[in-house]
Amino acid sequence: MAVLTALGGLAACSSSGEAPANTSQAAGGGKYTIWDPYPQYDGASAWVKLLQACGSQAGVTVERTAYDTSDLTNKALLAAQQGNAPDVLIVDNPVVSTLAEAGVLTTTQENKLDTSAIAPNLLAAGQSGGKAYGVPIGANTLALYYNKEVLKKAGVDIASVKDWTSLTEALRKVKASGGKGITFSAIGTEEGSFQFLPWFWGSGAQLTKLDSPEGVAAVTLWTDWLKKGYAPNSVINNTQTTSWQEFATGDYAFAENGTWQLANAAKAGFGYGIIPIPGKDGGTAPAPTGGEFVGIPVQKDTARYATSQKLVACLTNTGNSLATTTTLSYVAPTEQVQSEQVAQNPDLKVWVEAVKAAKGRTSDDLGTKYPKISEPMWGAVQAALSGSANPQQAMTDAQTAAASATQ
């Protein structure tokens, strides 16, 4: 969800292609392969220079291949089957459980990666069956951007927005003043689920029970906003990008979006602010974590693990983490580096708070069950918003489908 969207405005410069065979090398030298989902970064980028520096530090040459996120998972699975897995693999966090279940990744216990400083809620996104299969390189999540001018015209004090009731009242005032309320992405894909989850989890609902009263309340909230004209019907087909484009017109009071829009917000031409997404009864709603994990795939030559561990440790250590997360538009996974980020850029404070409250989509030991739950969930949201089913029926149908798929 994250890096490709976050840096989509940069020139895409892919070094992707068929991956070279990973022939066995002595642990103390030779070539070590790293695959990542950042094709927008070429050999002159700070990211690739860091990879090369980590290789030099470990006494090896790094051979890096970049793929689009969707291609990377399939190529990693195929390479593992053929015995040509890369030495280091960087993948979107929901993919970790899929690769772990397929036997592609080693555990942090096996590969000796140190996770002691990593925030537990972020580490959980890469855990399956109680075992961790990598280290988060960084994280991002969702919050609410707001337009100061639109709220001022409506007589809304942003400090009053603390829960669903006060947010809905703010939207009512905005509409009454002639403005537009809130825009978000409810498209029938994982993007729609990603944007719905803060409201779903913020109601107290659990993914194992989509049709709970709490889950139905979350769908009802969005549905009522559309019925009352507080949100546009376009949200049904909005991606996170098109939703942002609506907010960038300057007409909307609020937009649900991510860290990756900070640069665009600065260019919007109007005063803006950011608040965490509120929970139903107050507090910060848990939003899903975006971001990648760095893992070490299974190798026939286990002597390679020691050097692979050095490469991963270099990429994720405290000294490099600040530069890495800044380059990738992420919040760091450790409290120490998060503090350094906020000191450099106070605008990141709200994002650090949101990340601290966030949770992985595959957390709660859902693992590979998550996609089988997510699809019925986004289908339910689509059904409710389009009026083809009421929120209760939509979520009841979704729960039936999810239960059948995960048995």
pLDDT at 17 over 60: no
Q: Which fold has domain 3-140+290-357?
A: D-Maltodextrin-Binding Protein; domain 2 (3.40.190)
So what's the pLDDT on residue 28? 52
323-338: pLDDT as tens digits:
888 888 899 999 999 9
Cα separation, 167 vs 281, in Å, equals 11
- φ, ψ of residue 132 to 5 degrees: the values are -95, 140
Of 388, 400, 368, 399, residue with least CA distance to 214: 399
pLDDT at 26 over 80: no
229-246: pLDDT as tens digits:
999 999 999 999 999 999
Classified as helix, coil or strand, 268 is coil
So what's the pLDDT on residue 21? 39
Contact between 34 and 51 (Cβ < 8 Å): yes
Cα separation, 48 vs 63, in Å, equals 10
Cα separation, 171 vs 252, in Å, equals 10
Of 225, 140, 139, residue with least CA distance to 186: 225
118-133: pLDDT as tens digits:
999 999 999 988 899 9
Cα separation, 137 vs 14, in Å, equals 21
pLDDT at 134 over 90: yes
The alpha carbon of 194 is separated from its chain's Cα centroid by a whole number of angstroms, namely 8
Q: Burial letters for 223-237: b for 16+ Cβ neighbours within 10 Å, e otherwise?
A: bebbeeebbbeebbe
Superfamily (CATH) of domain 142-287+366-405: Periplasmic binding protein-like II (3.40.190.10)
Enter the pTM of the model: 0.85
Domains of the chain, by residue range, sit at: 3-140+290-357, 142-287+366-405
Same fold, 3-140+290-357 and 142-287+366-405: yes
